[in-house]
Amino acid sequence: MHHFTYREGHLYAEDVALEAIARAVGTPFYCYSAATLRRHFRVFADAFADRDTLVAFSVKSLSNLAVLTLLQKEGAGADVVSGGELSRALTAGIPGDRIVFSGVGKTRTEMAAALEAGIHQFNVESVPELQALNDVAISHDTTAPVALRINPDVAAGSHDKISTGRAEDKFGIPWAQARDVYRLAGNLPGIAVKGVDVHIGSQITDLAPFEKAFNRTAELVRALRADGHEITRLDLGGGLGVPYQHGDDQSAPPHPEVYAEMIKRIAGPLDVQLIFEPGRMITGNAGILVSRIIYHKEGESRRFLILDAAMNDLIRPALYDAWHDVIPVREPGSQGGKVKYDLVGPVCETGDTFARQRDLPELAENDLVAFLTAGAYGAVQASQYNTRPLVLEVLVDGDRYAVIRKRPTTAQILAMESVPDWV
């Protein structure tokens, strides 16, 4: 469900024509729908409204301050994975006690900042990290609220680069060591053990791996309680997928209601606060990338559309072999045929290919196209490779829109660098 639809032959974001935005701000740009963001957050939060739940939006999926502020107003907390993201969440007005800090490599500086912000919980992923956090908490004369991230050794069927819950992945504390590490944590004066955390991966569209991991986790909560730990929170991570391909019902993710029902069945009897860290399911369908066709090139055996967007703006196809539906911003007539195109960017890498042999209506130079489902892990992974300016972002809400991240000028990019006088 999203709010990017054709009206009288033109693609709109809510009530704003994308052609009008393109004329005003240039291309390429990301465009987010406020209504879609709100709707996705509410559907998820409402599914758990009948119990003590913290929905901590995964900031890394889409971290623009305007988006964080919008979600904060819906009641979202934040799941952050760096000191930078912590600052973003706080700047957007998300209270410290609704922030959880995840990630395998938190530095002592980041830990100190999070303690000063009074965050709800650190999700700790290793013994050395636990010891470092203990030191930092003691030196701040406080205790750090902690959940240990346990690796349940469950393979979820998402891409290799976004699967995190297998024994060979770098994430979490190995299942077999969990009780020992909790014993250690319970004896550290700077650590307050609060809960258990799991996050098995991203873009998971099948309930079975979640259910398996959560059942194992519930079992662990019971064992830890028997060991004398007071476990009052259960953080079940993010990872619920979104449909990337129109008409592909097979990989359609479960509705949050169905997901919630499964979780309540497993976690209900434990009487814990539930914490979730959804990212993609809130932001994925809420964003598109709009790009202009620079050239139409006839290759030996292929027709290439060379776009003004490139892998530095949207790296998911290059990094994860990800599929994004591509649609023309000017709606094609019903009788025109389809043509197979390769859609590529201007970057000097073969990997700068968005789609191969894609069936599209006939397109021409200067036409605009939109990559759908680009809200999550799109703009946040953009770079300035090839000295292409960081991609611009726009937020639409009803009939209003605003630029929420400017495109830097080349002069501004160059001003970040300096040449020592001894060169």
Ligand X SMILES: *Cc1c(COP(=O)(O)O)cnc(C)c1O
Catalytic residues: 348
Query: Count residues contacting ligand X (CB under 6 A)?
Result: 16
Least separation, in Å, of the C-beta of 152 and ligand X?
Answer: 13
Q: Which residue of 280, 316, 324, 388 would you call a contact of ligand X, by CB under 6 A?
A: 280
Site string for ligand X, 127-166 (x = CB under 6 A): ----------------------------------------
Residue 199 is a binding residue for ligand X (CB under 6 A): yes
The kind and range of the H/E element at 192 are strand 191-197
- Give the C-alpha separation, 392 to 398, whole Å: 20
Is the CB of 212 or the CB of 296 nearer to ligand X?
Answer: 212
Site string for ligand X, 361-390 (x = CB under 6 A): ---------------x--------------
Q: How many CB atoms lie within 10 A of CB 33?
A: 25
Two structure tokens written together for 407: 């495109």
Is the CB of 172 or the CB of 190 nearer to ligand X?
Answer: 172
Residue type, 40: H
Residue ranges in 219-278 that form contacts with ligand X under rule CB under 6 A: 237-239, 277-278
Two structure tokens written together for 179: 């009780």
Stretch in the footprint of ligand X (CB under 6 A) among 35-43, 53-61, 245-253, 363-371: 53-61
- CA separation, residue 122 to residues 27, 175, 408 (Å): 40, 19, 35
Is the CB of 27 or the CB of 163 nearer to ligand X?
Answer: 163
- Give the C-alpha separation, 200 to 175, whole Å: 13
Q: How many CB atoms lie within 10 A of CB 282?
A: 32
Least separation, in Å, of the C-beta of 199 and ligand X?
Answer: 4
Least separation, in Å, of the C-beta of 277 and ligand X?
Answer: 4
Least separation, in Å, of the C-beta of 89 and ligand X?
Answer: 14
Stretch in the footprint of ligand X (CB under 6 A) among 57-65, 139-147, 304-312, 393-401: 57-65
Long-range contacts of 130-135 (CB under 8 A, 24+ apart): 130/181, 130/184, 130/185, 130/188, 130/191, 131/188, 132/106, 132/108, 133/106, 133/190, 133/191, 134/188, 134/189, 134/190, 134/191, 135/108, 135/190
Least separation, in Å, of the C-beta of 268 and ligand X?
Answer: 22
Is the CB of 47 or the CB of 376 nearer to ligand X?
Answer: 376
Are 384 and 363 contacting, i.e. CB atoms less than 8 angstroms apart? no
Residue 106 is a binding residue for ligand X (CB under 6 A): no
Are 79 and 100 contacting, i.e. CB atoms less than 8 angstroms apart? yes
Site string for ligand X, 307-346 (x = CB under 6 A): ----------------------------------------
Q: Spell 37-52 as b/e; 16+ CB within 10 A means b.
A: bbbbbbbbbebbeeee
End-to-end CA distance of the chain: 55
Q: Which residue of 253, 279, 345, 378 would you call a contact of ligand X, by CB under 6 A?
A: 279
Is the CB of 242 or the CB of 305 nearer to ligand X?
Answer: 242
Is the CB of 190 or the CB of 239 nearer to ligand X?
Answer: 239
- Give the C-alpha separation, 231 to 52, whole Å: 14
Are 205 and 249 contacting, i.e. CB atoms less than 8 angstroms apart? no
Least separation, in Å, of the C-beta of 185 and ligand X?
Answer: 19
76 closest CA partner among 56, 62, 90: 56
Least separation, in Å, of the C-beta of 162 and ligand X?
Answer: 7
Residue ranges in 58-87 that form contacts with ligand X under rule CB under 6 A: 58, 60-61, 79
User: Which positions lie near ligand X, rule CB under 6 A?
Assistant: 58, 60-61, 79, 102, 199, 202, 237-239, 277-281, 376
